[in-house]
Structure 1
Amino acid sequence: MENSHTAKEEQSYEDFVPFCNWQKHEEYDILEIHLPGFRRQEIRLQFNDLGILTISGKQGSDGDESSTTTSMRSRFHKEMKISRNCRADQIRAKFSRGILSITVPKKAVKLSKQSAENSEQSAHNLFGFGGTVLRPKLSKENALKMVLVSLAMVLAGYAVYRLCII
C-alpha cells in the first residue's frame, strides 16, 4: 500500500494551454477546445453564479497505477467569463475525437417597436440609405412654409424679369 501512495506523490504534471476557438452564431456560440490524448472522464466543467466557466483536466488522473512513478502527465486549467446574454441553464458540452465543444445558447433579444420598424424600413431602402434620406417626413407647418418661400421666390423672379425687360 505504501508503494501506491508514493507512486501518486511522484507524479508530475506539465501545464499547458489548449487551443481554443470560438464560433459565433446568431442564436448560440460554440467554444471548441482541442484536447488531444485526453479522455472524457479526465475533463471537468463548472459554471458558477458569477458567470465564470471553469474548464480543467488532468491527463492520466483516473488512478491508473500501472504507469511508472516518473511518468509525465499533462494538465490544464482555463477560466472564462460568459456573456450575461446567455442561457446558463442550457449550456451543453460534447467531447469527441479530442475536441471539447461547449454550446452556449443566447437569450432572445427583444426589439423595441421603433427598432423593429427601423430594421424593417432599412431592409426596403436601396444601398443602405436611411428612410429619412430618401423619404423626408414634413409636418404640415413646414410644408406650408416651403410653399410660401417658393411662391415668394417666384414672385421676386417675375418682378426682376419685368423690371429688366421694360
Structure 2
Amino acid sequence: METKPAAKDETCYEEFEPFCQWNKEEGHDILEVHLPGFKRQDIRVQINNWGILTISGKQPRVEETTSAIPSRFCKEIKISKHCTTNGIRAKFSHGILSITIPKEAQHGGVNAAWASANDYLVGLRSKVLKPRLSKKTAVMVVVVVLVMALGVYVVCRYPKSAS
C-alpha cells in the first residue's frame, strides 16, 4: 500500500473565536472585531443574499524556522431586516476590523404601527380608486362606448316607422 507525501500547501491552523463588540448608534451599528496579528489582506468580509455577514481570515504561513502555528477564524452574523446591506462598510486599522451597518429609517412605537397601517390603506385606496387598465383594454372600452353612442344616435335619429 502506497502513501502519498503530504501536499506542500497543507498547513495546520489554530482555529479561534475573535473578540467582537457591538456599538449601537442612532443611524447605524458598528461591529468591532479584534484581530491582533492580522493584516488587511488576510481578512475577508462578505454578505450573501440571505443577510448573513461572513467575516473570515487566516494568517499566512510563517517561515519553517518559527514554531508558531498560524491562526484562522470564520464568524457568521445574521444582519437585521432593518439594516441596509448595500451600505455596509468595513475598515481595518491597528488590529481592529470595524464594520459599519447602516439602519433603515424607522418610525417609533405606536406611531409606527399607525404609519404602516396608514401606508397600507393609502396603497389599498389607490388600487381601488385608480384601477390601471392596459392599452388594449382601454381601446376596447373606447370602441364599445363609441358603438353604443352610434347605436343611440341611429335609434333617435331614425325611429322605426309604425306600419
- TM-score relative to the length of structure 1: 0.58
Query: CA 1:111–1:14 in 2, change beyond 3 Å: closer, same or farther?
Result: closer
Asked if the contact 1:12/1:71 (under 8 Å) is kept, the reply is no
> Could you say which residue in structure 1 is the equivalent of 2:83?
86
Query: CA 1:111–1:20 in 2, change beyond 3 Å: closer, same or farther?
Result: closer
Q: Distance in 1 between matches of 2:108 and 2:35?
A: 39
> Could you say which residue in structure 2 is the equivalent of 1:38?
38
Q: Distance in 1 between matches of 2:68 and 2:18?
A: 20
Q: Distance in 2 between matches of 1:7 and 1:115?
A: 63
What letter is aligned with 2:103? K
Task: Quote the RMSD (CA, aligned, Å).
Answer: 2.5
Size of the aligned set, in residue pairs, is 107
> Could you say which residue in structure 1 is the equivalent of 2:64?
68
> Could you say which residue in structure 2 is the equivalent of 1:13?
13
Higher relative helix content = 1
Q: Distance in 2 between matches of 1:93 and 1:12?
A: 28
Deviation string, structure 1 residues 100-123 (Cα, Å, up to 9, x no partner): 0000000001469x728xxxxxxx
Deviation string, structure 1 residues 32-64 (Cα, Å, up to 9, x no partner): 000000000000111011000000000116xx7
Unaligned runs of 5+ in 2: 1-5, 113-163
- TM-score relative to the length of structure 2: 0.59
Unaligned runs of 5+ in 1: 117-166
Query: CA 1:35–1:115 in 2, change beyond 3 Å: closer, same or farther?
Result: same
Deviation string, structure 1 residues 50-81 (Cα, Å, up to 9, x no partner): 000000000116xx7xx118751000000010
Aligned-residue identity in percent? 57
Q: Distance in 1 between matches of 2:105 and 2:87?
A: 13
Query: CA 1:97–1:40 in 2, change beyond 3 Å: closer, same or farther?
Result: same
Dislocated runs of 4+, deviation >3 Å: none
